[in-house]
Amino acid sequence: MSVYKKLAQVQASMRSLAPNAEGQTGQARYGYVSGAKLLGVLRPLMDKHGLLLSQEVKGITNTPITYTTKSGEKTEMFTSLHIQFTWIDADDGSTLVNDFHANGMNAWDKGLGSALTYAERYYLMKFFHIATDEDDVDALIKEEAIAPTDAPKPVRKAPARTAKQQMERNYIPMDEEQYWKCIAAYAQGRTTKTGGDIKKAWAETTNADAEAVAKFDYDVENYRIANQL
């Protein structure tokens, strides 16, 4: 499989991410997707498909910028980067190279770090065409209470499954994007709209077996570590 096919598979699993951080320019506030959140979802997909992403600074320009604040004058370093991103297929060695430009401004020794962080985040967001509109993880999970509480009970009940039938139930995995939204929501301590447990709702929806549950727990732990939760 070439690097192009693997990147296509990653893109197919990435639809949108809801802003989880807030920035400010002057008096205007805005929401954005943090690098931690982006990588918390994207890195597991890269690892799964054996994709590496190298970054090489091809050119850099540093310009001191002095401006006036309420506390007086302040000088920061404005850094402009020409950076080259290279996708590498760890299996067959095929590559894809992209040039990217980014700017960043911060304290003297942090201008480069700001530019690199900005470059990585926006390159990945735009490369995979990730929308940043609000998402709703609850819409991806089967609700535990669809009918009103006073709805009439069914006259006939489905026969209970035997233990053997329960063991033979097939695991039906979620779409990759939906799965990672469930992981993120559960790791953040969120619940379904009815106040239910997301992990339980996911397991019931997918008929998750012990192996799938173990992977769910593993992915939740990695997400928490990546996002410092």
pLDDT at 203 over 90: no
Give kind and range of the element (H or E) at residue 72: strand 72-89
Smallest Cα–Cα separation from 185: which of 204, 165, 199, 167? 199
pLDDT at 150 over 90: no
Give kind and range of the element (H or E) at residue 222: helix 210-226
pLDDT at 83 over 90: yes
Banded pLDDT at 166 (limits 50, 70, 90): very low
CATH class, 3-127 region: alpha beta
The pLDDT of 13-34, averaged and rounded, is 72
Q: Return the top range by mean pLDDT from 21-35, 60-74, 85-99.
A: 85-99
The Cα 5–Cα 11 span in angstroms is: 10
SS3 1: coil
The pLDDT of 109-135, averaged and rounded, is 82
* pTM of the complete model: 0.55
Banded pLDDT at 136 (limits 50, 70, 90): very low
The pLDDT of 131-159, averaged and rounded, is 43
| Domain boundary assignment for the chain | 3-127, 171-229
Mean pLDDT (the chain) is 79
- Any idea which of 46-55, 84-93, 150-159 has the lowest mean pLDDT? 150-159
Q: What share of the chain has pLDDT > 90, as a percent?
A: 25
The Cα 91–Cα 5 span in angstroms is: 12
Banded pLDDT at 133 (limits 50, 70, 90): low
Smallest Cα–Cα separation from 45: which of 188, 175, 204? 175
